Structure 1
Amino acid sequence: MADLPDVDELLDAAVRALGGARRDGQVAMAQAVDAAIDIEEHLVVQAGTGTGKSLAYLVPAIRHAMANDTTVVVSTATIALQRQLIDRDLPRLAAALAPLLRREPTFAILKGRRNYLCRHRLQTAADAEPDEVELFDPRALSSLGRQVQRLHEWAEETVTGDRDELVPGVGDLAWRQVSVAANECVGAAACPFGVECFAEQARAEAGGVDVVVTNHALLAIDAMQSYQILPEHRVLLVDEAHELVDRVTSAASGALTERAVATAAKRAARLCEVELTERLGETADGLALIFTDAEPGRVDHLPEALAGAVASVRDAAHGCISALGPENKNDPEAATARRLALAALEEVHDTAVRVLESFEPPLRDRRDVVWLTKSPKQPPGLHVAPLAVGGLLREKLFGDRTTVLTSATLALGGSFTTLAVQWGLGRETAGEETRPRPAAAEEAAEDAREAGEDADDSHTAAGEPRWRGLDVGSPFDHARSGILYVAKHLPPPGRDGLDQRYLDEIAGLIEAAGGRTLGLFSSMRAAAQAAEDLRERLDHPILCQGDDSTGQLVGEFAEDERSCLFGTLSLWQGVDVPGASLQLVIVDRIPFPRPDDPLSSARQRAVGAHGGNGFMSVAATHAALLLAQGTGRLLRAMDDRGVVAVLDPRLATARYGGFLRASLPPYWGTTDPEVARAALRRLDAAAPVGSAV
């Protein structure tokens, strides 16, 4: 690579071309990524908001790709970051680096096949009966028909067939009528539209570029499947790495529902004997009956009736699969019908098998958890998910490539070990480089070590990959720009909605701030209660999640400096509003997972069964991640100032509070409500006049 400029020179050129300024954290991260690639060592980097971490990993990645004539893969958790990389960061970076390189760097985005319109399915969508429309519901059929008609019109003009480029979008039900999953596709060679296939075109384009941008879900599927989806690569960059475990867990989960079984029977009806498909349809009815009487929640011991219903689904689906016969590649229509039927049959069969097999080991040795969901808005379903994904990631993701994992929030309790163990990396092998955090008390460090050691119960194997961690800090001076106010005087949060004292506290803080408030609540019930109460008390506009689309609400909040926005989970990580419109972030309670959450409760129990502290390794880790992400909404630009108000006194009084505080940006701290309100009044008085009325 001697003929290419080094990373420092390339980064300087990129920053100058983009009109930026040199940032020490960005330089340190770029150098660390370059070194990790060179010595083939995994790297975990915490880079605070404003560091410019995308440039810091893209510059050394592009240099490596061009020097070695290979492809690097960048994986993100959210569509928003994918679009930022593809539409803004990479085009500008490629143009900036082209004069210093042999050619302009190339890039492409790659998603799962289901994200691309299938021309073959589109052709047959009008004639096919929709799988999941309620029978005899003319409104649903009419709405579906209009959406599919839109898709026909869009198909004539789209270049990519990428669902995300369809604005406004269509519902999942309509999209499923014109798309196929990987296991439903007959393949380009057999498909009459193979040459024009959008998914194949995307894969072909991704195969020859320097940088491929994908998502964590496809990354997980690529790791789990026997066939390769992503292009061959030796360097993987995982942005938004704090979400990796949840996204991989979701991709590795399965669900068994009456609807899924009935759909499989319906798809197989034209291909199998009537007796076989009728038998499968009857098992769907039997499953529905059992679900009616069963209690929702985690299933630790499989009742005989439920076991019998699941086994009946397994056996009936297996009978249909055996009866399908070989694929007729000379008849594309028949081949497509067979593939659709086989995919649906295998999904219910394999899920049923997995559910039954998950109960075979003793409780403390199980690798999967099973639970039943029932709600007014969704049909009942039996779900199965892995207790841990560290083993999968260690073997498939870290085994034969160099991986860089980065986010603004990775060092929980001041240590990377907690998340690293969950990823399957184990304890650090190359010396952790984190910045000293005055707020991290001795007990916080001990809790962080404890959480890390326990995080993946007993499933972390020997021979863990070599990795090191680096915290490059943030360009923000958190202690000067922000205050962390913990309402120590309030009572611990209850289970019956917001205490009146909490509502009074919120009202006082908002009045002091002059609006300008993002309220992050642990439930929609709490958010709605606060919105209803405060709309009667305050003159400031109170927007609440659910009143409109989240994007529309965030836009209104940003435009009107006197407004407030209340909501729950998606707002904890999805709001980027710099400036005077957001000077107060309120958190109603520490965001621990619900005690009855099947997956987190099972993970806590598994850790405890092996002698660990399940609360610290699961519940406290979950809360620390969300708190760090939520409080990070406050400072989004260098001139931002404000207050983070956590109303839950346990952050100041509980032993685990030190661990949680050490996971947050290092704001200046206080428990005095008047100090917080006085600071907000000063900020309100000093704020420039904008759109406020």
Structure 2
Amino acid sequence: MPESLPWASHGCRREEAGRRTFPVANLFATSHLSPVPQSFPYPALHASHAGIWIAHGGETRAVSRGEAIRIAADTPVVMMNAPLVGQRLGYAELSGLDVLELFAFLHPARFMVPTPKGLAAAAGLAVPADDAAIPAFLLAATARLLAVAESDWPEREGAWSGAQALARLRWPWAPLLRIAKPGRNERWLFARLPEWEEAAPRPTPRSVTLADADVLARLDRLTGAGAEPRAGQRAYAEAAAAAFAPRMGRDAPNLMLAEAGTGIGKTLGYLAPASLWAERAGGAVWISTYTKALQRQLGHETRRLHPDAAERRARVVTRKGRENYLCLLNLEDALQGGFAGRAAILAHLVARWAAYTADGDMVGGDLPGWLTTLFRRNGSAALTDRRGECVYAGCPHYRKCFIERAARASAEADIVIANHALVMVNAARGRELSTRPTRYVFDEGHHLFDAADAMFGTALTGQETIELRRWIVGPEGGSRGRRRGLQARLSDLASYDEQGGVAIGEIVAAAQALASDGWLARLAENQPFGAVEQLLAAVRGLVFARAEQEADAGYGLETELAEPSPDLVEAAAACAQGLDRLLRPMVALGKRMEAVLADAPDWLDAPARARVEGAIASLGWRAETVAAWLSLLARIGGPADPAFVDWLAVDRIEGREIDAGLHRRWLDPTKPFAEIVLKPAHGALVTSATLTGGGDWSTAEARVGAPHLARAPDRFAVDSPFDYAASAEVLIVTDVKRGDVPALANAYARLVEAAGGGVLGLFTAIRRLRAVHARVADRLARAGLPLHAQHVDPVDTGTLVDIFRDDPHASLFGTDALRDGVDVPGDSLRLVAMEGVPWPKPNVLHAARRLAGGGSAFDDRIVRARLAQAFGRLVRREGDGGTFVLLSAAMPSRLLDAFPAGVPIARVPLEEAAARIAARMAGRTARQMAGQGTAGIAGIAAARALPYAAGPALPDEDQPR
């Protein structure tokens, strides 16, 4: 290896660059390994907003975009995150040797931030000094990873057979792996997975009353003997215990509304009474969240409750919807030829993960969030049960099913960590009636209204109807895969019960009226086929005729369902007849299956019974959906129902139509939520840091459904212990003109530069986010300030947050999902910037609710709540601080009470804002920022069982995620 390598600075073409050098030692300052041998046959490529570099044969050089594409097309290149590199090169079909794929193969179910810094920590290498050093670093990391394959590493079992299968698929890493053939036959995935066991039904929970002293004693145990008692947390725990008292009347649960400011420690505050009640009453408490991030956080907090991993797995279970879990039957089909090309490679990498996963959760679990995004046309959705085609006990992998295992584990658990959507789905359609919880904790309770709005809404659209058609009819037009229609799934029932067989035939025949493949093109050509497509065509025509939005703006269009056209009335009548012909045999089939259960024929053993019961439940909720569609169609030409808001819409993304149809939402979605979820419960705690955000207690009660209950709720509030006046300030920038994208981009760039990164930039429109990102990303990269963006980078949101959290110099742009679901304490987030006042979108649904909710006061409550949530991202722990910036001179003074009392607020021009931010950041040295930003990942790497570095091993279940 030479003592220095030639390179070129960013901004110079290769031919014009001088022979500048940098010392090789900078690449591996703390590594005890030598750089990759020069004999390694392939180059490494890195592309960022600061430039493009290639390393090969011991030399690193800057190259042009065209040369990088040519090299990548001619020979396999080592890179990290091929879709992201391809996007930056403008070459979407880029492929090669992606080190992330190699890491996922070698270390399934292991956590790693998908950046050079994250790879360096995981592999025990030094972090590359700058972008130019990354290609050589990737070659060194590749050598380290390939060396693992020649060792006896913890995840070795199954790797040899997996590599052979991937070699047949021409996975580029396969020829480079040197995995010794095992001395015995490796157990295949489906032989390795444990089986769940049936258990006797759990007794009904006992009625117990929790004494305050006992609750506080449990809280002291959770916080630790040496922890300083916090008065606010102790008062909160005592108040939360009221939700676990025995209820005194039917449909009158003990509802406690508790607002606890950030920093109170409400998680442990409600875990104390919840765990104590579960222990003494013998029942389960379901803790429901809105975001996956909080679900993961709760899982970690329960380690205080049950330090022993085995006991924790038995007594604490995380539950999500079926569509989140790997379906083993779908995976088997994919491995046996159901997938082709890159999708087949993904299936084999997922199979490697499935052998080591803790719970089979593909969305937010221990499957790396970045893995599926490496496969653009990946088919990962086909590996889960998204269409409700589960055959339950008819599946050969039923006894090993991740979904069934989670359901049975939750029936025996003390604490079930779920989410708002799953709680509502289970209450409305759940099969687990005997284990329905009696006690709930709804954390992030300010989102209950939104979750209920989505859950209890109705949409008669092309996408919804085609999904129903596929569930009934099965694959059409030569589709590959194991998917089968209703007739194939229930063939044995049809052969046993003649009337059931007739009903199945009628359902399949009636389903021909539903939308089918190619419906969008037929609508565009005005050639609809079938009753549903005729309806959608009439909807589309009326929307384009009446929508007040700009038709050429590329956004979705909508109009209220009022004064329908004759074409729409006629099409609705024909569609209603077709749906009625579908609903009648669905109801009849459900009754026939119930009769079969009652007859209990000889073939109806326990597995068969479970399969029939599952089919009844699946058919039942689809019949409910069709009935809801019929109710919506009855509205066309008839009187409006004041309980609902109905409208017509054409959904578009960047001008491309993706769906069309009719929509119905409850004017107050907390009404069905209270009826279906709260009334059957005995007690519920609804808590949030911003429960009354934007209003008072009456507003909070209305947003969670309390007015629909017979018993009035209890209330509790405790302020945050943080000194916001000393730790944060709010700056309202007055000289950025609304609608001026160049000025907006310059403002964001100045703020990021002044803060030195660590900026969370929030946007109200994806189009503006992309426009600003395109203008500032290169500028910031040249200053050593990486910029990541939701809806721009081909990376999932959770991984973007991981990357942002791990680098104190990075910034992240995003939309609503980042405003409400980001928990990034410390220096990694020290400035939050919003592009403007977050007014609600003036659509048909909002207009109706605004009219019913008090007009402009309704809007103000929404804006205050959004501002409070956004500001809440800034200070998450003691010692956090920073600046909240609103780029809007039009910010009304009446809305400033959304921010904590005492926090300084100033209206200033952009340059003054930048100067104040720079002054605030001056006290934070680069060494402090780097140390705090890397502490988390360094600690993780030190404790890994990876073969690269010494350190104590953590059990798989205890791996940080």
TM above 0.5, one fold? Answer: yes
SS in 2 for 1:547: coil
Tell me which residue corresponds to 1:544.
789
Tell me which residue corresponds to 2:873.
633
**Equivalent of residue 904 in structure 2, options 655, 668, 683:** 668
SS in 1 for 2:567: helix
Tell me which residue corresponds to 1:589.
836
Pair 1:69–1:575, CA change in 2 (3 A): closer
- Unaligned ranges ≥5, structure 2: 1-208, 248-253, 474-486, 488-503, 516-529, 544-556, 598-602, 932-961
- Unaligned ranges ≥5, structure 1: 130-139, 427-460
8 A contact 2:210–2:245 mirrored in 1: no
Aligned-residue sequence identity (percent) comes to 28
Query: How far apart are 1:643 and its partner, in Å?
Result: 1.4
CA distance in 2, matches of 1:661, 1:197: 50
Tell me which residue corresponds to 1:79.
292
Tell me which residue corresponds to 1:133.
none
Q: Which amino acid aligns with 1:614?
A: G
> What are the superposed Cα offsets for residues 169-204 of structure 1, whole Å, 9 maximum, x if unpaired?
65899455454479755554x666544443332222
Tell me which residue corresponds to 1:405.
686
Tell me which residue corresponds to 1:393.
673
Query: How far apart are 1:145 and its partner, in Å?
Result: 4.9
Pair 1:50–1:623, CA change in 2 (3 A): same
SS in 2 for 1:580: helix
8 A contact 2:291–2:419 mirrored in 1: yes
Pair 1:30–1:384, CA change in 2 (3 A): same
Query: How far apart are 1:686 and its partner, in Å?
Result: 0.8
Tell me which residue corresponds to 1:57.
270
Tell me which residue corresponds to 1:472.
718
Q: Which amino acid aligns with 1:76?
A: T
Query: How far apart are 1:55 and its partner, in Å?
Result: 0.3
CA distance in 2, matches of 1:692, 1:2: 46
> What are the superposed Cα offsets for residues 57-79 of structure 1, whole Å, 9 maximum, x if unpaired?
00111111212222211111112
Pair 1:71–1:559, CA change in 2 (3 A): closer
**Equivalent of residue 231 in structure 2, options 15, 18, 24:** 24
Tell me which residue corresponds to 2:558.
297
Pair 1:342–1:312, CA change in 2 (3 A): farther
Query: How far apart are 1:552 and its partner, in Å?
Result: 4.4
Tell me which residue corresponds to 1:6.
214
Query: How far apart are 1:20 and its partner, in Å?
Result: 4.4
8 A contact 2:510–2:578 mirrored in 1: yes
Residues 329-408 of structure 1: pairs in structure 2 closer than 5 A: 342=619, 346=623, 349-358=626-635, 362-363=639-640, 365-375=642-652, 376=656, 378-399=658-679, 400-408=681-689
Asked whether 1:418 is paired with 2:622, we answer no
Q: Which amino acid aligns with 2:789?
A: C
Pair 1:581–1:64, CA change in 2 (3 A): closer
CA distance in 2, matches of 1:343, 1:395: 19
**Equivalent of residue 304 in structure 2, options 86, 92, 108:** 92
Tell me which residue corresponds to 2:767.
525
SS in 2 for 1:70: coil
Larger Rg: 2
Q: Which amino acid aligns with 2:720?
A: S
Tell me which residue corresponds to 2:368.
167
SS in 1 for 2:678: coil
Q: Which amino acid aligns with 1:283?
A: A
Residues 142-153 of structure 1: pairs in structure 2 closer than 5 A: 142=341, 144-148=343-347
8 A contact 2:346–2:378 mirrored in 1: no
Query: How far apart are 1:522 and its partner, in Å?
Result: 1.5
Residues 505-654 of structure 1: pairs in structure 2 closer than 5 A: 505-535=747-777, 539=783, 540-545=785-790, 546-549=792-795, 550-595=797-842, 597-605=843-851, 607=852, 612-617=853-858, 619-653=859-893
Q: Which amino acid aligns with 1:218?
A: L
**Equivalent of residue 110 in structure 1, options 296, 319, 333:** 319
**Equivalent of residue 204 in structure 1, options 408, 413, 418:** 408
585-594 or 662-671, larger mean C-alpha shift: 662-671
CA distance in 2, matches of 1:616, 1:283: 43
8 A contact 1:260–1:344 mirrored in 2: no
Pair 1:425–1:672, CA change in 2 (3 A): same
Query: How far apart are 1:51 and its partner, in Å?
Result: 1.9
Tell me which residue corresponds to 1:69.
282
Q: TM-score, normalised to structure 2's length?
A: 0.58
8 A contact 1:359–1:366 mirrored in 2: no
> What are the superposed Cα offsets for residues 438-469 of structure 1, whole Å, 9 maximum, x if unpaired?
xxxxxxxxxxxxxxxxxxxxxxx5x6532233
Tell me which residue corresponds to 2:192.
none
Pair 1:194–1:678, CA change in 2 (3 A): closer
8 A contact 2:724–2:900 mirrored in 1: no
SS in 2 for 1:395: helix
Q: TM-score, normalised to structure 1's length?
A: 0.78
Query: How far apart are 1:239 and its partner, in Å?
Result: 0.5
Residues 123-138 of structure 1: pairs in structure 2 closer than 5 A: none
Q: Which amino acid aligns with 1:571?
A: L
Query: How far apart are 1:648 and its partner, in Å?
Result: 2.0
Pair 1:413–1:265, CA change in 2 (3 A): closer
SS in 1 for 2:839: coil
Q: Which amino acid aligns with 1:474?
A: S
CA distance in 1, matches of 2:510, 2:216: 66
Pair 1:682–1:530, CA change in 2 (3 A): same
SS in 1 for 2:505: coil
Pair 1:143–1:264, CA change in 2 (3 A): farther
**Equivalent of residue 451 in structure 2, options 209, 232, 247:** 247
SS in 2 for 1:645: strand
8 A contact 2:694–2:863 mirrored in 1: no
Pair 1:563–1:317, CA change in 2 (3 A): same
Tell me which residue corresponds to 1:224.
428
**Equivalent of residue 241 in structure 2, options 34, 37, 42:** 34
Pair 1:123–1:524, CA change in 2 (3 A): closer
317-326 or 219-228, larger mean C-alpha shift: 317-326
Asked whether 1:682 is paired with 2:884, we answer no
> What are the superposed Cα offsets for residues 377-436 of structure 1, whole Å, 9 maximum, x if unpaired?
62334333222112223333332422111112112246232132122213xxxxxxxxxx
Pair 1:197–1:584, CA change in 2 (3 A): closer
> What are the superposed Cα offsets for residues 117-155 of structure 1, whole Å, 9 maximum, x if unpaired?
4445656678999xxxxxxxxxx9655555555556655
Asked whether 1:486 is paired with 2:763, we answer no
CA distance in 2, matches of 1:339, 1:151: 31
Asked whether 1:272 is paired with 2:505, we answer yes
CA distance in 2, matches of 1:232, 1:344: 18
8 A contact 1:254–1:351 mirrored in 2: yes
CA distance in 2, matches of 1:57, 1:93: 12
Q: How many equivalent residue pairs?
A: 627
> What are the superposed Cα offsets for residues 76-129 of structure 1, whole Å, 9 maximum, x if unpaired?
11122112222x111222239999xxx999222223333334445656678999
Tell me which residue corresponds to 2:151.
none
CA distance in 2, matches of 1:318, 1:141: 40
Query: How far apart are 1:338 and its partner, in Å?
Result: 7.5
SS in 1 for 2:922: helix
8 A contact 1:298–1:369 mirrored in 2: no
